[in-house]
Each structure stands twice: as structure tokens, then as C-alpha cells.
């Protein structure tokens, strides 16, 4: 791990990675996005991830070993894709001797929404969870650059959310997950001293589909 001087405790360069929906990667300098790529396709994470990271580094003119923090979107999102980004974040951090920070992927959508709609009230963020369900969370606003989550993240049928919150009092948005926004949140959390250091445990919200074996009876 790089040991920064006390006066530069705030990391200068960070790399943000999220594969909870498409593949999105960004390089930030002091919390400002200087390069970003967003591939929307939901199935090509393992193909894209290497060259996406290579591209944002090249576009920003930053060497891998200058990256101080790797910010990982920890979901929720479809598992297979989500894991590609988390695996990449872990090994990039080891290779670049950077530290790891996890941020809830839905928070990036909330940040972008409040930046576009300053002063807006409650927000309901949903993303596709397949099987006719959505991953969702609600927010009340942004404090010091960090979206304030009031519910979630959870996974439900869209129509069931109304039983849990007053949907009519919440705005919704079409915005998607963006690595740059994750990096901005991580930087704001760092300034506020509430960064989610090292914990990049994925938010799965569902157990694996598997039924314990009852044994016996294999033949028809």
C-alpha cells in the first residue's frame, strides 16, 4: 500500500469500476472525472473490462501505479456481470498497490439525478433485476456530495414496492449506473471520513438457485 504524506491524505487519482448493469469505468483526479467509458450492453463484461480500464488510463494519461484508490460498484446487479467488475477491482488494486473502496451502485444514479435536479425531494431508484423484479433504493437528497439512502437496497416486484413506501411522493429517473459518479461519491465519503474501506462484498440480495439434495431416487 502506498503511504501518503499526512497533507495528501486525500487520494489524488482513483479508478472506478462498475459492472452491475453495463461496463462502466472512470479515472478521477481529486473527485473530478477525467476519463470515462460506458458500455451499455449487459452481457459483455468479461470481454470489455480489460480494454475499458486500459482505455480510461490512456485517455487520462495516468499510469496504473499512480492510482491511489480503486472504487468498486458493489451492486446490486445481476450476479455474473457484477462479479467481473469486483474481481477486476480486487486484482487491479493488488497490481497497482492501491486501496479498495466499495460503493452501492444505485447511489451513483441518485447522485446524477440530484446533480441534474438540485433541491429535488424523495427519489426512487430502480434497476432491472430480471425475473420480473427490480433492485431498488430510495433517497432523500444529497449531503456533502453523498446521496442519503432512506430504504434499500432491496429486490422486489415493482408493484410490491408500493406496499413498502409511498411511491407517489418519490420521483423516478431513467438514468443508469455511471462509474464516474461512484468515484465522486467515494471521494466525498473520503472527505467526510465515512468511506467504506476495503469492504467490497457484493450486494447479491438473492440466494443462489439450488435445492439441497434429498438423496436417492435418481431413476425415473
Residues in contact with another protein by the rule CB under 8 A: 17, 19, 44-51, 53-54, 57, 64-65, 67, 79-80, 83-96, 202, 204, 208-213, 215-220
CB of 78 to another protein, least distance (A): 10
DSSP string, 200-213: ------S--S----
Q: Find the shortest distance in angstroms from Cβ 184 to another protein.
A: 21
Residue 16 CB, shortest distance to another protein, in Å, is 13
List, in sequence order, every beta strand (DSSP E) within the chain: 13-18, 23-29, 32-39, 69-73, 99-103, 123-128, 134-143, 146-156
**Residue 85 C-beta: closest distance to another protein, Å:** 7
Quickly count: other Cβ atoms within 10 Å of residue 32's Cβ: 11
Instruction: Give the count of beta carbons closer than 10 Å to the beta carbon of residue 208.
Output: 6
CB of 125 to another protein, least distance (A): 24
For residues 200 and 186, give the distance between their C-alpha atoms in angstroms, rounded to a whole number: 12
Q: Specify the residue, 132 or 216, whose C-beta has the smaller distance to another protein.
A: 216
**Integer distance in angstroms from the first to the last C-alpha of the chain?**
58
| d(C-alpha 183, C-alpha 101), whole Å | 9
In a 13 Å sphere around the CA of 122, the CA atoms on its Cβ side amount to 11
Shortest Å distance, C-beta 185 to another protein: 21
Task: Give bridge partners of residue 45 from the DSSP assignment.
Answer: none
Of the two residues 1 and 210, which places its CB atom closer to another protein in the complex?
Answer: 210
Nearer to another protein (CB atom), residue 47 or residue 144: 47
Nearer to another protein, 34 or 64 (CB): 64
DSSP 150-175: EEEEEEE-HHHHTTTS-GGG-B----
Burial tier of 107 (Cβ tally within 10 Å: 0-12, 13-18, 19+): buried
Q: Kindly tell me which of 88 and 186 has the beta carbon lying closer to another protein.
A: 88
Residue nearer to another protein on the CB measure, 193 or 215? 215
Please identify, using beta-carbon distances, which residue of 7 and 219 lies nearer to another protein.
Answer: 219
Which strand (E) or helix (H) includes residue 84?
helix 79-96
Q: How far is the CB of 213 from another protein (least distance, A)?
A: 3
Amino acid at each position: 500500500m502506498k503511504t501518503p504524506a499526512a497533507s495528501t491524505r486525500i487520494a489524488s487519482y482513483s479508478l472506478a469500476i462498475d459492472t452491475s448493469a453495463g461496463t462502466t469505468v472512470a479515472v478521477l483526479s481529486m473527485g473530478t472525472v477525467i476519463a470515462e467509458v460506458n458500455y451499455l450492453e449487459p452481457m459483455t463484461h468479461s470481454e470489455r473490462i480489460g480494454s475499458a480500464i486500459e482505455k480510461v488510463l490512456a485517455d487520462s494519461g495516468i499510469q496504473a501505479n499512480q492510482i491511489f484508490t480503486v472504487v468498486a460498484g458493489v451492486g446490486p446487479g445481476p450476479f455474473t456481470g457484477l462479479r467481473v467488475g469486483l474481481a477486476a477491482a480486487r486484482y487491479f488494486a493488488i497490481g497497482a498497490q492501491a486501496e479498495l473502496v466499495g460503493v452501492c451502485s444505485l447511489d451513483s444514479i441518485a447522485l446524477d439525478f440530484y446533480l441534474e435536479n438540485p433541491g429535488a425531494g424523495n427519489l426512487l431508484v430502480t434497476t432491472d433485476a430480471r425475473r420480473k423484479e427490480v433492485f431498488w433504493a430510495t433517497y432523500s437528497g444529497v449531503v456533502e456530495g453523498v446521496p442519503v439512502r432512506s430504504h434499500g437496497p432491496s429486490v422486489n416486484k415493482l408493484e410490491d414496492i408500493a406496499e413498502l413506501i409511498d411511491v407517489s411522493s418519490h420521483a423516478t429517473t431513467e438514468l443508469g449506473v455511471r462509474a464516474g459518479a461512484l468515484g465522486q461519491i467515494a471521494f466525498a465519503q473520503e472527505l467526510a471520513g465515512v468511506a467504506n474501506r476495503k469492504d467490497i462484498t457484493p450486494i447479491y440480495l438473492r440466494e443462489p438457485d439450488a435445492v439441497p439434495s434429498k438423496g436417492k431416487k435418481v431413476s425415473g
